[in-house]
Structure 1
Amino acid sequence: NMSIGTVVIPLTVVRYLWKFFRPSVPYPADLSGPKKNIAHLAHEMFYLVIFVMLLSGVLMLTHSYRFFWLIDIPNPINDASINGFFFDVHRASCAGVAVMLILHLAAVAKHQLIDKRNIISRML
């Protein structure tokens, strides 16, 4: 888990920054301005919650770990109360990612099946 998280943290940062340099995929023409704003906010919140989950997962460590059984990575914080705080943040953000994922899938299903918008092609 920690080795994968260690790889995913920089990839998440790169993925977030990449969105500023790639051409934006237009929203469907019949999607209203407020709905576009809600979609944009939801995506930004999704990135934030994922990043908080990943970062708090590292900061909650109470001991070192071996990165893919090769290199010892020390825990960055050696204060049990701070580690406990980040453990609570990690738990809450894991729940937040689960909720955001369910909401995301529900929105895709609604747009694809009910509104008959080919939203999946926009995502790909």
Structure 2
Amino acid sequence: MIASNEKYNKKTRFFHWLSAVVILWVTISGFYVTLFEVDAELKNSVLALNVLMNTFFIPVFMFRVLNWVNNPAPEDYQGLPLRSRKIADKVHAGMYLLIFIVLLSGVLMMDRKVEFLGMTLIPYLPFDPALKEFFTRLHIFSVCALAFCVALHIAAVIRHELSGLRILKRMLG
């Protein structure tokens, strides 16, 4: 039996916190410049930065999923029943699916290529305008769903911390 204070491995912690920073930044900044009246130059700069961050995040996310499959979370037999662990696994799988949909729909809705330092990172994919509109709507819906899931994830971590199950301590290393 593994103690409840066993830490997640270094790769898992690295991928988790890098993902958290990217997802929280692009979600909060994206909602901010989309929902509030901001200077057009600021809005364009933030959205361009978010596209670039997500472009570089795509391979990181693929490695994170591989790491998740190959390195399951430490078992915790003190306070977290098997049913709760199964729910947590399903919720994490759902969040990974949402992240995949957000990233894929973001690429497929783009109306231009993505460049960095003069190199094309993602080429422009010319789709029918109706299909681009579908991917745009899918992106907006999946971003909102992911934001909701991230909020629930944070709430669950707080709940576990308050109940004595130190998941955050294990994820911080």
Both structures adopt the same fold (TM-score exceeding 0.5)? yes
TM-score, length of structure 1 as denominator length: 0.88
Matches within 5 A, 1:78-93: 78-93=127-142
Would the aligned equivalents of 1:53 and 1:94 in 2 still touch at CA under 8 Å?
yes
Would the aligned equivalents of 2:79 and 2:165 in 1 still touch at CA under 8 Å?
no
**3-state SS of paired residue (1:76):** coil
Asked if 1:119 corresponds to 2:167, the answer is: yes
- The AA in structure 2 aligned to 1:70 is G
CA distance in 1, matches of 2:142, 2:156: 20
**3-state SS of paired residue (2:76):** coil
**3-state SS of paired residue (1:96):** helix
**3-state SS of paired residue (1:20):** helix
Give me the identity figure in percent: 34
Q: Can you give the 5+ residue segments of structure 1 that lack an aligned partner in the other structure? A: none
CA distance in 2, matches of 1:41, 1:23: 13
Question: 1:5-62 CA deviation, whole Å, 9 max, x = no partner?
Answer: 1111111011101123336411243211211111111111111111110110000012
C-alpha displacement of 1:65: 3.2
Would the aligned equivalents of 1:65 and 1:74 in 2 still touch at CA under 8 Å?
yes
Q: Which residue number corresponds to residue 22 of structure 1?
A: 71
- The AA in structure 2 aligned to 1:33 is L
Q: Which residue number corresponds to residue 118 of structure 2?
A: 70
- The AA in structure 2 aligned to 1:71 is M
C-alpha displacement of 1:69: 4.0
Measured at CA, do residues 48 and 23 of structure 1 come closer, stay the same or move farther in structure 2, by a change above 3 Å?
A: closer
Would the aligned equivalents of 2:102 and 2:142 in 1 still touch at CA under 8 Å?
yes
Asked if 1:54 corresponds to 2:142, the answer is: no
C-alpha displacement of 1:3: 1.9
Which has a greater percent of helix?
A: 2
- How large is the Cα RMSD of the aligned pairs? 1.6
Would the aligned equivalents of 2:102 and 2:139 in 1 still touch at CA under 8 Å?
yes
Measured at CA, do residues 86 and 23 of structure 1 come closer, stay the same or move farther in structure 2, by a change above 3 Å?
A: closer
CA distance in 1, matches of 2:83, 2:72: 22
Would the aligned equivalents of 2:160 and 2:166 in 1 still touch at CA under 8 Å?
yes
CA distance in 2, matches of 1:15, 1:69: 26
Q: Which residue number corresponds to residue 104 of structure 1?
A: 153
Q: Can you give the 5+ residue segments of structure 2 that lack an aligned partner in the other structure? A: 1-49
Aligned residues: 122
Measured at CA, do residues 78 and 119 of structure 1 come closer, stay the same or move farther in structure 2, by a change above 3 Å?
A: same
